[in-house]
A and B are shown apart, each in its own frame.
Chain A
Amino acid sequence: MTTSVSIIGGSGYGGGELLRLLLAHPNVDVQQVTSRSHLGEYVYQVHPNLRKQTQLKFVDPAQIEPVDALFLAQPHGQAQHNIEQYAALAGKIVDLSADFRLRDPALYEKWYGEKHAAPDWLGRFVYGLPELHRAELATADYVSGVGCNATASNLALLPLVKADLIEPSAPVIVEIKVGSSESGAEGNVGSHHAERASVIRTFSAFGHRHTAEVIQEMGLGRVSLTMTAVDLVRGVLATVHAQAKPGAANKDLWKAYRAAASENPFVRVVKESRGVYRVPEPKVLAGSNYADLGFEFDESSGHVVSICAIDNLMKGAAGSAVQCMNLMLGLDETAGLEFMGLHPI
């Protein structure tokens, strides 16, 4: 028996990645995909990798019919205005936007600069990162998406926080390098090829909105994310600097990271003493749902460097969303997400 799904907002990069995953998913049948700007066009005319995979055309959001599960992949700020309407169409909703990631309306207003349009719904959503909320997702009807930078940061911190290895009162600095697909399919002056190619551009030293998700999910008060655009299309690399608690040893960190990999099918530890790929790198993760974690620890000073690499469109967006859907529907958590990536690439 297959699950019927539709996508609201399928012409962006997140929507296209969702389609790539859902069209190949063994337990899912994609019914409809919406786009106002590409109404009536075949989806492969926007997402060329889907040619010969589907004959679906983009429809108007008003034409969406009831389904088992609905994915929302619209720009930020839209889902919160229509959530009642969407909830009437499907018993299960996964919203990839930032609208329902934060539990606290005050935190939302602080980081997004406006009041939430549906604050009563915030508490009904589960934050959509399976590595943090697997049990809750299994019984959830409404699941938020995740910020890609927040995901790389949260997963880099997960082993350290879960094993209580770092000082929660000390500053946690996260240096993040990001690819261009993170900014979406809409262009701007800064994404013009002549301006974007070959950059190493720190575009947000403080105050990136994804910081709020790290504060909420890790329970750390003094977190700072610094964002730097680099010359990649896909990929996020988060490098965390934190202070270990007195007495922590290198083997304690190994134990914590090994546990994270053991408990989560898409988390791997990359801390190698041989070969070219000795630390996590986004390059070999393109198209895969893996999060690669690594660390270095200076026992004498207690300085921990934790590294996480992901594909921003996969573990940082559509991949985690499909993983959440699998958990919500009681399917194999890894169904439709088995692609192992490419090498060389």
Chain B
Amino acid sequence: MITVSCPECAAEITLEESVEVNEIIVCPDCGVDLEVTALDPAEVELAPMEEEDWGE
């Protein structure tokens, strides 16, 4: 089981066995996009997300 820590909220995220480098995953706690940057050991970085202010 491969786990990484979310750089935004420190949630422990379990990666699927089939995960690949450059794949974008979603943090289940805070919802940010994360890019898998390495697999041995596994590392993730925040990926750019579109800002949204809902017209406010």
Q: Assess whether B54 is in contact with A276, with CB atoms less than 8 Å apart.
A: yes
* Chain B binding surface SS class: loop
Q: Assess whether A274 is in contact with B31, with CB atoms less than 8 Å apart.
A: yes
Cα separation A86 to B49 with both chains bound (whole Å): 59
Q: At the interface, yes or no: B29 with Cβ under 8 Å from chain A?
A: yes
A99-107, A130-138, A250-258: which lies at the B interface?
A250-258
Q: At the interface, yes or no: A275 with Cβ under 8 Å from chain B?
A: yes
Q: Assess whether A251 is in contact with B49, with CB atoms less than 8 Å apart.
A: no
Q: Assess whether B10 is in contact with A275, with CB atoms less than 8 Å apart.
A: no
Chain B, 2-27, contact with A by CB distance < 8 Å: what is the 0/1 string? 00000011110000000000000011
Q: At the interface, yes or no: A47 with Cβ under 8 Å from chain B?
A: no
Q: Assess whether A272 is in contact with B54, with CB atoms less than 8 Å apart.
A: no
Query: Closest CB-CB distance, A159 to chain B, in whole Å?
Result: 13
Query: In the complex, which residue of chain A has the Cβ closest to the Cβ of B50?
Result: A274
Q: Assess whether A254 is in contact with B10, with CB atoms less than 8 Å apart.
A: yes
Q: At the interface, yes or no: A273 with Cβ under 8 Å from chain B?
A: yes
Query: Closest CB-CB distance, A206 to chain B, in whole Å?
Result: 29
Residue among B26, B27, B31 with the highest chain A CB neighbour number at 10 A: B31
Tally of chain B residues near chain A (CB < 8 A): 13
Q: At the interface, yes or no: B32 with Cβ under 8 Å from chain A?
A: yes
Q: Assess whether B30 is in contact with A272, with CB atoms less than 8 Å apart.
A: yes
Query: In the complex, which residue of chain A has the Cβ closest to the Cβ of B8?
Result: A273
- Name the one of B10, B26, B32, B54 contacting A251, with C-beta atoms under 8 angstroms: B10
Which A residues are in CB contact (< 8 Å) with B10?
251, 254-255
- Name the one of B11, B27, B32 contacting A258, with C-beta atoms under 8 angstroms: B11
How many A residues touch the partner, as a band? 10 to 19
Q: Assess whether A258 is in contact with B29, with CB atoms less than 8 Å apart.
A: yes
Q: Assess whether B30 is in contact with A251, with CB atoms less than 8 Å apart.
A: no
- Name the one of A250, A273, A276 contacting B32, with C-beta atoms under 8 angstroms: A273
Chain A, 60-86, contact with B by CB distance < 8 Å: what is the 0/1 string? 000000000000000000000000000
Q: Assess whether A251 is in contact with B9, with CB atoms less than 8 Å apart.
A: yes
Chain A, 234-276, contact with B by CB distance < 8 Å: what is the 0/1 string? 0000000000000000110011001000000000010111111
A273/B30 contact (C-beta < 8 A), A251-B9, A254-B9, A258-B11 known: yes
Cα separation A275 to B49 with both chains bound (whole Å): 12
Query: Closest CB-CB distance, B47 to chain A, in whole Å?
Result: 11
In addition to A269-B29, A274-B31, A274-B49, 5 A-B residue pairs with Cβ atoms within 8 Å of each other are A251-B9, A272-B31, A273-B30, A274-B26, A275-B31
18 A-B residue pairings within 8 Å (CB atoms): A251-B10, A254-B10, A254-B29, A254-B30, A255-B10, A258-B29, A271-B9, A271-B29, A272-B30, A272-B31, A273-B8, A273-B27, A273-B30, A273-B31, A274-B26, A274-B31, A276-B54, A278-B31
